[in-house]
Amino acid sequence: MKDLGLAGKRVIVTGAAGGLGRAFAQELIAAGARVLVADINAGGIGETVELLTAAGGEAHGATLDVTSAESARALAAVATEKLGGADVLVNNAALFGALNRAPFMELDEGEWDRVLSVNVKGVWQVSRAIAPLMQAAGGGSIVNIASATV
């Protein structure tokens, strides 16, 4: 694997109970990063942490509701406690699989509000909570994962 300069970096990955988030975390561990994985699915986070530690990496888990400022602040506290801060944030948490597959004219307003709350506001909530940790470390990187469907 090419050296990505991530050895020892403190990385937080949201939406890491499975899928892309888990895959990102596995690659980060392989690159030598210290990883904190977070998701609303506590069971899935436990499985991810087990996989990452079995691969020989330092991994920690946290339950996170990206729509909650309090939950995002709690994630920052866990990052401080377990990793001593944060160098990289990967905003991967999103809703898609649970969405109603229908023409947008038929989409319920409540469902649309939930999508915006997780997929848009959630990125802002978590970034706002973690950015001070990066500032304290002299800088960092925020990677936002997004997709679009029509």
Q: Is the pLDDT of residue 150 over 50?
A: no
What's the pLDDT score for residue 113? 87
Name the CATH superfamily for 10-144.
NAD(P)-binding Rossmann-like Domain (3.40.50.720)
What's the pLDDT score for residue 67? 95
| H helix intervals, 63-148 | 69-83, 109-116, 122-136
Domains in the chain: boundaries: 10-144
**21-69 pLDDT tens trace:** 999 999 999 999 999 999 999 999 999 999 999 999 999 999 999 999 9
What's the pLDDT score for residue 148? 63
**86-122 pLDDT tens trace:** 999 999 998 865 566 777 788 788 888 888 899 999 9
Burial of 149 from C-beta contacts in 10 A (0-12 / 13-18 / 19+): exposed
Q: Is the pLDDT of residue 149 over 90?
A: no
Determine the Cα–Cα distance for residues 48 and 53; give it in Å rounded to an integer: 9
